[in-house]
Amino acid sequence: MTLQNKNTIVIVSGLPRSGTSMMMQMLSNGGLKALTDDVRTQDISNPRGYFEYEKVKSLAQDAEWLSLAEGKVVKVIAQLVPFLPKQFNYKIIMMHRDIKEILTSQQKMLGKDAAVIPFTLSEIFTKQLQQTEQFIASQPNMEVLTVHYKDVIESPLEQAESIASFLGIGLDIEGLMKSVEKDLYRNK
């Protein structure tokens, strides 16, 4: 399924390790077509995959490819959202997760001591997310739904209904919910 308005792109965003891959999987299983390329494959940190599109990493230099995402969903980390071109409309699902959980997950993924949380990185990530959210709020072509990772894990039906309502399309609620696995909430 794609969005009716071809000029609209659904963006799943947030800080790295905030639940963006889970949300991409939810939307894909709910029936929304995802722009992915499977370059980054599943691993122990994301056993169901990352649902990424490699060209997103160069969004600041090249956004030509973004027309491929019209009517679909694509994952864009929060730090790159300000580089989204203005000719499209965006419905952004912004994933939030406790910063300590994000950093613990990131440390584990990088093979580092999860008990050692880099305080400066916490401040940097928090500031970057705040700046991105302020930018989104100032853009007339961007709508945002804030989704908390923990809420999705604890109340998948409520969150799935909220997401479907925000996007305004007939997503498969059961499909959205089947992507939520409490066992994958490992870094608390």
Tell me if 186 is assigned to some domain.
no
Number of structural domains found in the chain:
1
User: In this predicted model, what pLDDT tens digit does every residue of 59-97 receive, in sequence order?
Assistant: 999 999 999 999 999 999 999 999 999 999 999 999 999
Give this prediction's pTM: 0.87
Tell me if 1 is assigned to some domain.
no
Task: Show pLDDT as tens, one digit a residue, over the chain (188 residues).
Answer: 656 666 899 999 999 889 999 999 999 999 999 999 977 666 565 556 568 899 999 999 999 999 999 999 999 999 999 999 999 999 999 999 998 888 887 766 555 555 656 667 788 889 999 999 999 999 999 999 999 999 999 999 999 999 999 999 889 999 999 888 765 444 44
Residue 123 to residues 81, 100, 116, 120, 183: CA-CA distances in angstroms?
19, 11, 15, 5, 29
Tell me if 183 is assigned to some domain.
no
Tell me if 34 is assigned to some domain.
yes
Tell me if 127 is assigned to some domain.
yes
Tell me if 22 is assigned to some domain.
yes
Give the SS3 label for residue 8. strand
Which helix (H) or strand (E) segment holds residue 73: the answer is strand 73-75
What pLDDT sits at residue 186?
44
Tell me if 3 is assigned to some domain.
no
What pLDDT sits at residue 184?
47
Domain range holding 111?
8-177
Instruction: Name the nearest CA neighbour of 152 among 142, 144, 138, 162.
Output: 162
Q: What is the CATH number of the domain that holds 23?
A: 3.40.50.300
Q: How far is CA 108 from the centre of its chain?
A: 20
Half-sphere exposure of 20 (CA within 13 A, CB side): 24
Instruction: Name the nearest CA neighbour of 80 among 106, 107, 61.
Output: 61
